[in-house]
A and B are shown apart, each in its own frame.
Chain A
């Protein structure tokens, strides 16, 4: 069975500082990996995904995540956060046409 672990429920970080949101998964087969973002009072939006190919994937707003098969991780990083990045971030895993399993989420707090 697949599962996702987001190690941090909340991450406070100063504006313009770098951030890393951790995600580990467990699966015995090859997986697809996702990061979704949920801004306050809004639905979830896909931030980036890994399906195959390059292990480093990027989003249009400066986030990136690297698929590390040996460590079964898919950590999300941004070199410099902005106040507008305040949101909850969900890591998710699926296997082909199987259902997506979401982590519990990490709330990113941007400090002025």
Chain B
């Protein structure tokens, strides 16, 4: 079974530039999460999807961050414009129904210069 796939693995951009991250969850997993992990910290939830619906986006900075999950499968997280403080690892996770186990991708390490 293929795991959660994320791309790119690494991204370096200048501040004020846009950036997008892509996530392909495990087939059949209805729930998808985007987390941000700052250096020396645990993951912090940005947004959670149940199929196509964003059921929890309370922690997503909506002035510059956006996300979508068209057709309830792949998801894209976008930052526009990026700021220096956005440098972090962005993690995607998926979860099958009726369980509490999340499966994480390897993450995208973003560096904003």
B106 contacts A43, C-beta separation under 8 Å: yes
Residues of A contacting B106 with CB < 8 Å?
41-43
Pick the contact of A46: B40, B44, B56, B102 (CB < 8 A): B102
Secondary structure dominating the interface of B: loop
**Residues of A contacting B43 in the complex (Cβ-Cβ under 8 angstroms):** 44, 90, 102
Q: Mark B96-113, 1 if CB is under 8 A from A, else 0.
A: 000011111111000000
Which residues 1-42 in B have Cβ within 8 Å of A in the complex?
A: 3-4, 40-42
| 0/1 interface trace, chain B 43-60, chain A, CB 8 Å (1 if under) | 111001000000010000
Given the complex, which residues of B lie within 8 Å of A105, measured CB to CB? 40-42
A-B contact count (CB 8 A): 45
**Bound complex: CA of A34 vs CA of B104, how far in Å?**
14
Could you tell me if A100 and B107 are in contact, using CB atoms closer than 8 angstroms? Answer: no
Q: State which size class the interface on B falls in.
A: 20 to 34
Q: Is A32 an interface residue (CB 8 A)?
A: yes
Q: Which of A36, A44, A45, A102 contacts B44 (CB 8 A)?
A: A102
- Does residue B82 face the partner (Cβ distance < 8 Å to A)? no
- With contacts A43-B105, A44-B104, A46-B102 taken as known, whether A104 is within 8 angstroms of B40 at the C-beta atoms is yes
- Whether the Cβ atoms of A46 and B42 lie closer than 8 Å is no
Q: Is the CB of A32 within 8 A of B42?
A: no
Q: How far is the CA of A45 from the CA of B101 in the complex (A)?
A: 9
Would you call B100 and A51 a contact (CB within 8 A)?
Answer: yes
Cβ of A36: which chain B residues have Cβ within 8 Å of it?
104
What 8 A-B pairs are tightest by C-beta distance, nearest first?
A102-B42, A43-B104, A44-B104, A43-B106, A99-B45, A46-B101, A102-B43, A90-B42
